[in-house]
Amino acid sequence: MSDLRDLYQDVILEHSKAPRNYRELVAANHKAEGYNPLCGDRFTVYLDMEGDSIRDISFQGSGCAISKASASMMTQIVKGKTKAEAEQLFDRFHKLVTGHAPANGEAELGKLAVFSGVSEFPVRVKCATLAWHTLHAALEGKQEAISTE
Amino acid sequence: MSIAAKPVSSASKQRFDIERVRADFPILQQKVRGKPLVYLDNAATSQKPRAVIEAISRYYEGTNANIHRGVHFLSEHATEEYEAVRGIAQRFLNAAESREIIFVRGTTEGINLVAQSYGRAHIQAGDEILITDMEHHSNIVPWQILCDERGAKLRVAPINDAGELILDEFANLLGPKTKLVAITHVSNALGTINPIRRIVEMAHSRNVPVLVDGAQAVPHLKVDVQALDCDFYAFSGHKVYGPTGIGVLYGKAALLEAMPPYQGGGDMIASVTFEKTIYNKLPYKFEAGTPDIAGVIGLGAALQYVSGLGIENIGAYENEVLAYATQAVSAIPDVRLIGTAKVKAGVLSFVLDNIHPHDIGTILDQEGIAIRTGHHCSQPVMKRFGIAATARASFALYNTKEEADALVRGIEKVREVFA
C-alpha cells in the first residue's frame, strides 16, 4: 500500500472530493477545454486576466481523483500569478510528475509537491497534467486575442 | 450466493479441468507487483496458450518461407500449413466453403474491407446503413467514412437501460433506404449478446445484407455462420487466444465474388500487364501482399485449442464464473453495473459512486489485478449511460471464482482508499 499512498495522498483525496474554485467564472475573459480521449476526462479552465496576471481562475468538468485534485490545487497556486510565472510552475510541475525534478525542485512547488508520487505511475502523468495543459491553452488563447486587436 | 471461494461443481469439473487449462497459459504463472496475476482484461486481448506460442516458434524455426509462389520444399510446406488454417477457420465458423474465409489483420480490417469494397460498390447517395448504439468505434467509423464519401446516411438503433437492443426500434429504422446492417454479436463494453439470427431474418426480409462484428463473440459462443445466415462475419485472432495482427473475415461466396478487390498487390492477381490486370479467384483476391503467415499458423493453433476444449464447455464454465462475479461485485455498496442484459458473455462493466474508473484501475493494478478502465472505444455507449468511463472486468476460459473474489477484495480496497 505504500506505493498507493504515495499517489493517493490525503491532500489529493481531499481536493478530489471537495475541489476548490470549482465553478463557472462569469467574469472569465478566456477559457479553454481540455480533454483526454484515452480516459474521457474533460475540464474547462476559466480565466479572468487583468493584463498579464491571473486575477481569478476556476474550473469545471469530470475526471479521476488525480486530475481533479491537480486542477483544484492548480487554481489555488496560480491565482494572482503572471502568465510567465504560471507557465514556469507548469514546467516545474511537469518535471516533478515525470520524475525529472531537480533535487531542490519540490520547495518551489509548495503544496504541489504532493504530486511527486505520480512519477511512479507513468500512465497517470496525463491525469495530473490535464488541467495544466488546459491552463496553458487558455493563456495562449488570450495572447491570440490580443494579437487580433 | 456466498462470496466465499467455492470449488467448481463436480459436473463442470468433468467437462472442464480449470487447473489443467491454467497450466496451458505460461503468462498466468507469474506474479505482478508481488501478487499472483489476476488477468481480467480479456475483452482487450486474451493470453496465449503454449500451443499457440509453440506453433509460431515451430513455423519460424522449421518452415518459414513465402507462400503460394515458391516451388521449393519450404514454400510448399508453408503454403500447406497456411491453407490448412483456412480449413480450420471454416470449420470453426461452419462456413460452407473455405474460400469464404479471408485472412485479415483483425476485426477492424475485416469491417473496413467490407465498407470499402462492398460499400463503395453498393452504397449510393441517399442510402442508409443501420448500426446500433452499442457498437465499438471500429463498427462505426468505417461506415461514417463510407457515408461521407457516398452521401449516405448512418442510422443508429437505440438500446434500453439494460444495454439491450430495442428490437422494435430496430425494425422501425430498417426501411426502404437501408442497404446494409452492421451489428456487433457481443458488446465489448456491456457484454450484451445480440439476437443475430432474428436480426438477420428481419434484415433479409427486406433484402438487406448483415455484417456481424464477432470480435467479442468467438471466444465465448458457438458461432455458426450458416445457421445465423449472416452475410459477413469478422473476428480477431488475438481475442480468441491467437496472436495479434491476424483475424478472419467470413463472407458469403456469392457476395465476395461480386465485390471489387480491397487492396492491390501480389497474391491477389492472376495476371498483370500494363493494359489489364486479372484478379485472382477467392479468397486470394482479398489477400494482397505477403500475409502474416506465422500469425495465421498461430491462429490455427488457437482455434484448435478452443475446439479441443469445446466452445460449449468453455461458454458454460465462463457463464458460471461471470454469474458468480456479477453477484459478488453487485453486492458491494456504491457499485452500479453498466450492462445488465438478460443474455451476456464475458463482460462485467461497473462504476463506483464518486470514484473514477481510472482510480479503480490503478488501485486494482497494485493488487495484481488487470482490468480495463475508460470508454472501451465505445464512446456512444458511455454517452447513452451518462458516464465518461467504466471499469471493465472481462473474463476468459482460464479465469476462476477465486479471481472474482480477488476482484471483490480489490474493489473493497478502492473504497477504503477513498473512504
Query: Going by C-beta distance under 8 Å and a sequence separation of 6 or more, which residues neighbour residue B17?
Result: none
A118 phi, psi to nearest 5 deg: -60, -30
ipTM, two decimals: 0.86
E strand spans, B305-409: 335-338, 347-352, 369-370, 372-374, 390-394
B8: pLDDT confidence band, cut at 50, 70 and 90?
Answer: very low
For range B260-273, the mean pLDDT = 89
Interface probe for A, chosen from B351, B358, B390 (most Cβ of A below 10 Å), is B358
**Residue B211: which residues within 8 A CB-CB, separation 6 or more?**
B111, B114, B180, B181, B182, B183, B230, B231, B232, B233, B234
Residues B312-324 have a mean pLDDT of 97
Lowest mean pLDDT among A22-31, A116-125, B3-12, B173-182: B3-12
Cell of B260: 471489387
Residues 83-112 of chain A whose Cβ lies under 8 A from any Cβ of chain B: none
Per-chain mean pLDDT for chain B: 95
* Average pLDDT for B253-265: 95
> pLDDT at residue A144 above 80?
no
Name the residue in chain B with its Cα closest to that of A41.
B388
Positions of B marked catalytic: 377
For the stretch A14-70, pLDDT in tens is 999 999 999 999 999 999 999 987 777 899 999 999 999 999 999 999 999 999 999
Query: Cα A56 to the chain's mean position, in Å?
Result: 14
Q: Which of A4, A42, A127 has its CB closest to that of B358?
A: A127
The pLDDT value recorded for residue A143 is 43
Amino acid at the residue A3: D
Dist. CA A149–CA B11, nearest whole Å: 79
- The pLDDT assigned to B14 comes to 55
Q: For residue B336, what are the CA distances in angstroms to B37, B151, B162, B357, B367?
A: 25, 41, 12, 12, 22
Q: How far is CA B410 from the centre of its chain?
A: 27
Give per-residue pLDDT as tens, B384-395: 999 989 999 999
List beta partners, residue A62: A42
Instruction: Give CA–CA dist A41/A13, Å, rounded.
Output: 17
Q: Which residue has the cell 485534485?
A: A69
- Return the C-alpha cell found at B41: 482484461
Residues 353-412 of B with CB under 8 A from A: 354-359, 362-363, 366, 373-375, 379, 382, 388-389
Flag if B358 and A124 touch (Cβ within 8 Å).
Answer: yes
Using a CB-CB distance cutoff of 8 angstroms, which residues of chain B are in contact with residue A127? Answer: 358
Least confident of A96-100, B136-140, B182-186, B367-371: A96-100
Give, for B67, the enclosing helix (H) or strand (E): none
Specify the pLDDT at position B298.
98
Judge: A38–B357 Cβ closer than 8 Å, yes or no: no
Q: Give the mean model confidence (pLDDT) for residues B46-73.
A: 95
Q: Hey, of B356, B367, B417, which one would you mutate to test binding to chain A, going by the most A CBs within 10 A of its CB?
A: B356
Round to whole Å and give the CA distance between B166 and B169: 5
Interface of B with A in 293-322 (CB under 8 A): none
Helix (H, G, I), strand (E, B) or coil at B223: coil
B55 pLDDT more than 70: yes
The answer, for B44 touching chain A at a CB cutoff of 8 Å, is no
Among residues B66, B14, B86, B92, the alpha carbon closest in space to that of B313 is found at B14
**Any idea which residue has 481523483 for its cell?**
A65
* Structure confidence at residue A105 as a pLDDT band (50, 70, 90): low
Q: What is the pLDDT of residues B116-146, one digit of tens each?
A: 999 999 999 999 999 999 999 999 999 999 9
* pTM for the whole structure: 0.92
CB-based burial, B20-47: b 16+ in 10 Å, e otherwise: ebeebbeebeeeeeeeebbbbbbbbbbb
- What local confidence, expressed as pLDDT, does residue B161 receive? 97
pLDDT value at position B270? 87
Neighbours of A63 (CB within 10 A): 28
| B94 backbone φψ class: left, alpha, beta (φ>0; ψ -120 to 50) | left
Q: What is the DSSP string of B234-267?
A: EEEGGGGTS-TT-EEEEE-HHHHHHSPPSS-SSS
SS3 B132: strand
